[in-house]
A and B are shown apart, each in its own frame.
Chain A
Amino acid sequence: MDQNRNGFDPAAVEAIATRLKDRPGALMLILRELQDRFGCVPRDGVPIIAHTLNLSRAEVHGVATFYHDFRREPPGRNVIRLCRAESCQAMGAVALAEHVRERLGVGFGETTRDGDFTLEAVYCLGNCGCSPAMVFNDELYGRVSPARFDELMAERKEGRR
């Protein structure tokens, strides 16, 4: 298989694009599936998608970069998404964000140097009845205080051993 170090696989991109190209609104479906598969929309995938859909590269690039979800690079092994919107702000999300940034040593949109964690901002997880809210590797958590965050990190470490 023709795979580079990021796990980018042109044949897989082409297969996904070809399979979905005739669905109405195909581009969003294709980008979503690429992100699910590679953790990002690989830059080198853009011309392949453009060719398959008979769009310009600029058009595909424009859509891929419009949406917050679509990453340009694969994330770290763990992804933490912290809600920064009003309901969570009212329950201490600003302090929580500060704590998490300090704990991980990265800002929002960044990955730790060892590739272990990516920290992302999200604006509302619909868990506003249990603010502050956070997603840790696809799992939703509510009422996350800085202490609870540390607890979750410790639980995960123990779980891995």
Chain B
Amino acid sequence: MSATVYVARDSSALSLGADKVAGAIAGEAARRNIDLRLVRNGSRGMFWLEPMVEVLTTRGRVAYGPVAAADVAGLFDSDFMSGGDHRLGLGLTEEIGYLKRQERLTFARMGIVDPLSLDDYIAHGGYRGLTRALSMAAEKIVDEIAESGLRGRGGAGFPAGIKWRTTQQASARQKYVVCNADEGDSGTFSDRMIMEGDPFVLIEGMTIAAVCAGATQGYIYLRSEYPHALRTLNQAIDAARQRGYLGEKIAGSAHTFNLEVRLGAGAYICGEETAMLESLEGKRGMVRYKPPVPAVAGLFGQPTIVNNVVSLATVPIILERGAAFYKDYGMGRSRGTLPIQLAGNVKRPGLVEKAFGVTLRDLVEDYGGGTFSGRPLRAVQVGGPLGAYFPESMLDLPMDYEAFAAKKGIVGHGGIVVFDDTVDLARQARWAFEFCAIESCGKCTPCRIGSTRGAEVVDRILRVAHTGDRAAAIGLLRDLCDTMTYGSLCALGGLTPLPVLSALRHFPEDFGLSRSDVAWAG
């Protein structure tokens, strides 16, 4: 009897011992003379269940988890390969509520396919988007992306169609497509999951962008903290090239598209698109003035489509199913779905892809199950280190770019970090300045110097007892935040005030202040 068993190769699964589990399964199968096919898939994104083991049965895939190597013999004894009962049994994977209630479009294949099997990718709908794109005029591809309402998932939420149209209409001998895979926001890992768990969808998305713009060279700028993603991407690129999906005459068309992964070197600022382009050119990752925008003068001065991993990985399904299908999800001007990442102090951390409009409460309580520590939830930070801290009372906020902006926050890259009641928001505010100081590229004075002064002013607010001195320090902080917001070229200096001011606004008691002291903060 031959059975197929799945153990994820995702970094997070590996960090919890997935390799040991896979090794134990292979060893135990050999000992028992059982013929077994072990597939190392991407993670389903339910990290509290990793390492999770799935078995293909006549009923569908059955899951067990979290599995330790020591549990493996017991699983065999329980006949897990036929979906037998075991204390770690989770039933049919697809029936697990956390997964079942999601709307996985970008992540449709995540955890289902073998990430390195192009055949698997194609069997699960891969390259249908490219096939359709190759039959369309470039303007029509742009129209499709524009009509879908897709906005940049890296954090800025800028309409992808506008970028694409600009580059498509530019005339130049050389154009580029660059994927921003410098996923530096704490609390986010959706890019990593795509690159490790379904790399061909990113390659296909970039290929469609290249065909549309007439670009012949693409780069994936990958952060060096993702070594597994690097290996997987390089293997996937090789496989695609061998099968004619990259290189000359891609998929039998007249188009040429070459793709290469380039590594960053641990600079958060290189997630900012112009700093990333500088870094790709072999320079310091210093932010550029705009205009010109990269769509007109990007990499090496040439017209360049720059998009985040998730944005590009969403392109194939938009082309395959059409703009109307994708646009049908979501609310307001936030169309489609967002792969949301639940992180920090949360019982059920993981990847939840839902249409825009899902509330923070649905996500944190319903999916996340509350705090990991079991203590009361005090704050969530949404959108990475530059995102606002929100109190429990604001959890009914829907995931929507405009709704978040109205509450002085950002959706960002869709990461939610949960904190319990042991968090000190004054310390978090100070940290926001510290992080900005560590990562500032140094181009704009408000960011380079203001970040350090900001940390000092927070200290002063906490230290001074005299109310008059404290009022002066608060006034200084307010001025400083204004200067950073309006005097910085990019989001690092410009948005660092968000976590700071949100901490003051919603948690003044942590600064030894009353609500009336911070009334100016809104």
Residues of A within 8 A of B (CB): 24-29, 31-32, 62-63, 66-70, 83, 85-91, 122-131, 133, 138, 140-143
Contacts and interface: CB of A to CB of B under 8 A. Distances in A.
A117 to B, nearest CB: 19
B187 A27 contact: no
B12 A25 contact: no
Interface string B11-28: 110111000000000000
A70 B266 CA distance: 9
Given A25-B279, A87-B343, A130-B47, 5 more contacts: A24-B281, A63-B282, A67-B265, A126-B191, A129-B342
B343 A89 contact: no
Contacts, number: 151
Nearest to B269: A66
A67 B12 CA distance: 25
A86 B16 contact: no
A124 B15 contact: no
A155 B456 CA distance: 42
Given A86-B385, A123-B186, A142-B16, A128 B300 contact: no
Contacts of B265: 28, 31-32, 67-70
Interface of B: 11-12, 14-16, 45, 47-48, 50, 183-189, 191-192, 224-227, 262-268, 279-285, 300, 341-345, 349-351, 372, 381, 384-385, 415, 417-420, 423, 428, 431, 435, 438-439, 441
13 contacts: A24-B300, A25-B279, A63-B283, A66-B267, A83-B186, A86-B417, A89-B344, A124-B185, A124-B186, A129-B343, A130-B50, A131-B343, A140-B14
B15 A86 contact: no
Q: Which residue of B189, B191, B385, B423 has the most chain A CB atoms within 10 A of its CB atom? A: B189
B47 A90 contact: no
Contacts of A86: 186-187, 344, 381, 384-385, 417, 428, 431
Contacts of A131: 343-344, 349
A123 B284 contact: no
Contact of A126 (B11, B266, B284, B435): B11
A86 B187 CA distance: 7
A89 B283 contact: no
A61 to B, nearest CB: 10
B263 A87 contact: no
Contacts of B423: 90
B15 A142 contact: yes
Contacts of B226: 126
